[in-house]
Amino acid sequence: MRPASLDGARPPPFDFARAPILVFWETTRACGLSCLHCRASAISEPLPGELTSEEGHGVIDQVAEFGMPLPLIVFTGGDPLRRPDLFELLAHSRDRGIRTAVSPAVTELLTADCLRRLRDAGVMSISLSLDGAVAATHDGIRRAMGTYDRTVEAVRTALDLGLKLQINTAVMRPNVEELPRIFHHLRSWGVPTWEVFFLVRVGRATHELDLRPDEYESVANFLYDASRYGLVVRTVEAPFVRRVLHQRDGFPCWNAPLYRGLSSELVAREGPPTGPSTLGRRGTLDGDGIIFVSHDGTVQPGGLLPVPLGNIRTDSLPALYRTHELLRRIRARNLSGPCGTTCPDRTVCGGSRARAYAHSSDPLASDPACLWAVLGPPSPTR
Ligand code: SF4
């Protein structure tokens, strides 16, 4: 999740070679849900080797060592509510002057009292997942009946409490056609931020759930349209949306059946767009503005890019982030294939490093979900 005030654009004070803007900490892999596409293949009980409370304090202290401006820590999982010391860790972050965000799973642990405690702990924002416009789709993906109703209730409670709320949606085969209805829910509930994850085949995510590059192109163009209604729209593992944003400035619109269906339903529900796109023109990549600490302290470029760079138990997080050769190459866009050579938008995009790795075991290869990486960019006369 990216907090609501970080709209995907690179804020001027942040030099991504010096420090990430976001540190994702997978506090545990324990979770009461068992989602179809779970990156972490989360299970009901914590895995052996999980960082202790004392080591967790050490993670926070290492984040503080990046210096000002400090990154924000996203407490993720699994379900971070399964950490008995979560509120103690949030308090320690606050004491160190570090802003926090929390991504809880929607289970019976996420009560109104819990949401109030998160607000009172000074959490800057929370994210909740909504993967379907109706209970059958969402509960089918989350593999837990009643999760949709519980999510709607949690959304309303969080907004009533004044928490900054972001809704996350993982787009995949079972829900792609529900995107306009999900967006409509968010607008009618008053949710300010929608973050849409493009699938990466890691953990439990299989190719049956995945979309084709032309379908991702349709989703990216739909998200451009959806971002013109005031609600902040962001994407994860889809940096080529920035290319679509540039493209839509000067090229004719994408015109595939999936896009036409999504777009016409959007306009039918919402009316004409109300303003300019809220999509960011520059943003992060795994290892470029983002770093991930797993449940056992392994440091990775991102949660969906499981290349071990070192371990928080033995290595310095700032040193790993600043000097690791893989991260330096990602930040320099020293990549192979169209994402590193021929694509005119490679500096603002760079392709999903996680998807490249999942597809080819090479985190520096081109992004196989991007139509331009697959077909090449269109010639000016095309
Ligand atoms: S080819 Fe690579 S760099 Fe270019 S838009 Fe596609 S994913 Fe981005």
Instruction: Summarize the confidence of residues 4-20 as an average pLDDT.
Output: 64
Which range among 63-72, 142-151, 191-200 shows the weakest confidence by mean pLDDT?
142-151
Q: Which residues contact 253 (CB under 8 A, 6 or more apart)?
A: 221
Domains identified in the chain and CATH numbers: 22-270 (3.20.20.70)
3-state secondary structure the chain: CCCCCCCCCCCCCCCCCCCCCEEEEECCCECCCCCCCCCCCCECCCCCCCCCHHHHHHHHHHHHCCCCCCCEEEEECCCHHHCCCHHHHHHHHHHCCCCEEECCCCCCCCCHHHHHHHHHCCCCEEEEECCCCCHHHHHHHHCCCCHHHHHHHHHHHHHHHCCCEEEEEEECCCCHHHHHHHHHHHHHHCCCEEEEEECCCCCCCCHHHCCCHHHHHHHHHHHHHHCCCCCEEEEECCCHHHHHHHHHHHCCCCCCHHHHHHHHHHHHHHCCCCCCCCCCCCCCEECEEEEEECCCCEEECECCECCCCEECCCCCHHHHHHHCHHHHHHHCCCCCCCCCCCCCCCCCCCCCHHHHHHHHCCCCCCCCCCHHHHHCCCCCCC
Calculate mean pLDDT across residues 202-223: 89
* 240 CA to centre of ligand 1 in angstroms: 5
Residue with tokens 């407490």: 75
Q: Is the CB of 240 under 6 A from ligand 1?
A: yes
pLDDT beyond 80 at 6: no
Q: Answer yes or no: are the C-beta atoms of 62 and 317 closer than 8 Å.
A: yes
Give residue 11's pLDDT: 46
Task: Return all residues near 186 (Cβ < 8 A) that are at least 6 apart.
Answer: 130, 167, 194, 231
pLDDT confidence bin for 13, thresholds 50/70/90: low
Instruction: Decide if pLDDT at 263 tops 50.
Output: yes
Q: Where does the pLDDT of residue 5 fall: very low under 50, low under 70, confident under 90, or very high at 90 and above?
A: very low
Q: One-letter amino acid identity for 151?
A: T
- Kindly state if the Cβ of 324 falls inside 6 Å of ligand 1: no
The response to whether residue 244 sits with its C-beta less than 6 Å from ligand 1 reads: no
CB of 337 within 6 A of ligand 1: the answer is: no
Q: What is the pLDDT of residue 8?
A: 45
pTM reported for the whole predicted model: 0.92
The span from the CA of 163 to the CA of 180, in Å, is 25
Radius of gyration of the CA atoms of the chain, in A: 20
Checking if the pLDDT of 372 tops 70, the result is yes
**Each residue's pLDDT tens digit, 229-250:** 999 999 999 999 999 998 887 5
- Site to probe by mutation for ligand 1, drawn from 339, 341, 355 as the one with most ligand atoms within 8 Å of Cβ, is 339
pLDDT of residue 281: 77
Which of these, 233, 198, 195, lies nearest to 215 by C-alpha position? Answer: 198
Q: Is the pLDDT of residue 7 over 50?
A: no
Cis peptide before 69 (omega within 30 of 0): yes
Q: Mapped to the 3 state alphabet, what secondary structure does 245-282 carry?
A: HHHHHHCCCCCCHHHHHHHHHHHHHHCCCCCCCCCCCC
Residue nearest to ligand 1 atom 1, measured at CA: 373
Q: How does residue 209 score in pLDDT terms, banded at 50, 70 and 90?
A: confident
Beta-bridge mates of residue 293: 25, 299
Q: Is the CB of 339 under 6 A from ligand 1?
A: yes
pLDDT digits (tens, 9 = 90+) for 59-113: 999 999 999 999 999 999 889 999 999 999 999 999 999 999 999 999 999 999 9
73, 121 contact by CB (below 8 A): no
The pLDDT of residue 295 is 96
Q: Is 366 in the pocket of ligand 1 (CB under 6 A)?
A: yes
Ligand 1 atom nearest 243 alpha carbon? 5
Question: Cα(290)–Cα(125) distance, rounded to whole angstroms?
Answer: 17
Ligand 1 nearest-atom number relative to CA 346: 3
**Residue 4 — very low, low, confident or very high, per pLDDT cuts 50/70/90?**
very low
